[in-house]
Structure 1
Amino acid sequence: MSNFDTERLIIEIQSRPSLWDSSATEYANRDLKQRNWEELVEIFGGGDLSTAEKKELGQELQKRWKNLRGCYVREVKRQNDIKSGSGAGSRKSEYVYYKQLQFLQEVVAIRDADIQEESTEDSRNEEAQTQDTQNNVEKRSRKRKRFQTKQQNFQNETDHLVEVLNRSIERKGQREKSEDDEDRMFLLSLLTSLKSVPPEKKMTLKINMMSLINEAMQENPRGRSTFREHSGSPDPH
């Protein structure tokens, strides 16, 4: 595209506001934009191009237009800097297509105002988001502390309950052990006497003792055999 007619491209695009005028209603119409670019492909490429070649030409036209618009915006900024005195020493020659692109002047001014407004709004939103984030962090921190406090209180109550249960079990075991020791000592005290019983009478004595224990268990609801609850004593003879 060495002999490309840039001025013709500018004229054709100017006649199609959907491609450049962000304030126009048709600017948001994507279907219309697509048709306009296809029209430009036909104008600059003719009808003999393949589908792939048309696609490539369309991309090249859009790239050229983007470059033209960018150059115009930079030229406007340069001239504004010169007027304000901050552009001293910059080039003096005007951009070659500056006058042809003057129809973009209002759009560029609107866009600059939009950018400034968006920047201010973004700054406010960022501050609000920062404050919200800080508030959320503080809320989560307070919730975490309350949860940790409840968890610690629950753990303390659990530890106390376990301690009480352990002491209760220990006391119960000591009582049972004490009672068992008394019974054991009593039976051991009979061992010497039992050994002195003649062998032929020992079996009868054991049977009588078992009978007494059985009677005591039936009378005692706790099911514990205690010789002290029985008023009689076995006759070894």
Structure 2
Amino acid sequence: MNVSLLQHDCLKHYNEEKHFLHVDDNNVASIIEKDQSTNIQTSNNNISDYNEALVNAVYSRPALYDHRIPIKERTSLKKKALWKEVANLMGENENIEFVQKRWKQLRDSYVKAKKRENAYIPSGSSGSAKNDKISFTLYSEMKFLDDVTGKSL
């Protein structure tokens, strides 16, 4: 069965005039709305810049990702205010859910890349097997999550 990518059920709501289709380094496709509240442009460089800016914005607000911070400093009210700050920085003033979802996708991609890096390679396997793994472009920028998620991902 030869089905076009855009005819797949997952993309049934995709409209080229209203959306961007972004496929990241882990082959995860995301539909991103083109509207006045979204600062993302069609080029991959701008999407990469957006993702990097989002990582930096979250990094500067440890209460959003570090469970070791005292609970009084990361209450749901405080985290909501921090996500609003991040959304405002990203030009998504009223679209906090979009920013949170994109952060989750980036975090999940990082965790997958980290697991691939640490994957067991049986003895006798070619040494290049580890080097053949796909790298995640924001891998080094997101290493700050290692302290939070544990070194043994």
The question of 1:29 aligning with 2:75 is answered yes
Q: Distance in 1 between matches of 2:55 and 2:121?
A: 31
Corresponding residue number in structure 2 for 1:41: 87
The question of 1:10 aligning with 2:55 is answered yes
String of CA shifts for 1:114-142, please: whole Å, max 9, x gaps: xxxxxxxxxxxxxxxxxxxxxxxxxxxxx
Structure 1 gap segments, 5+ residues each: 113-237
Corresponding residue number in structure 1 for 2:5: none
**1:45 CA displacement:** 1.7
Identify which of structures 1 and 2 has the higher relative contact order when contacts are C-alpha pairs closer than 8 Å and 6+ apart.
2
Q: Distance in 2 between matches of 1:8 and 1:40?
A: 10
- List aligned pairs for 1:99-178, cutoff 5 A: 99-109=140-150
Q: Distance in 1 between matches of 2:65 and 2:102?
A: 13
Q: Distance in 2 between matches of 1:24 and 1:32?
A: 12
Native 8 Å contact 2:117 2:133 kept in 1: no
Q: Distance in 2 between matches of 1:111 and 1:91?
A: 21
**1:28 CA displacement:** 4.0
The question of 1:94 aligning with 2:135 is answered yes
**1:89 CA displacement:** 7.3
Q: Distance in 1 between matches of 2:121 and 2:139?
A: 21
Native 8 Å contact 2:117 2:130 kept in 1: no
Structure 2 gap segments, 5+ residues each: 1-39
Q: Distance in 2 between matches of 1:89 and 1:73?
A: 16
Q: How many residues align?
A: 102
Specify whether residues 110 and 92 from structure 1 end up closer, same or farther in structure 2 by C-alpha distance, changes over 3 A only.
closer
Letter in 1 for 2:63: S
Q: Distance in 2 between matches of 1:36 and 1:75?
A: 27
How high is the sequence identity, in percent, across the aligned residues? Answer: 29
Q: Higher Cα Rg: structure 1 or 2?
A: 1
Specify whether residues 110 and 18 from structure 1 end up closer, same or farther in structure 2 by C-alpha distance, changes over 3 A only.
farther
**1:92 CA displacement:** 2.8
RMSD: 2.6
**1:25 CA displacement:** 1.4
**1:11 CA displacement:** 0.8
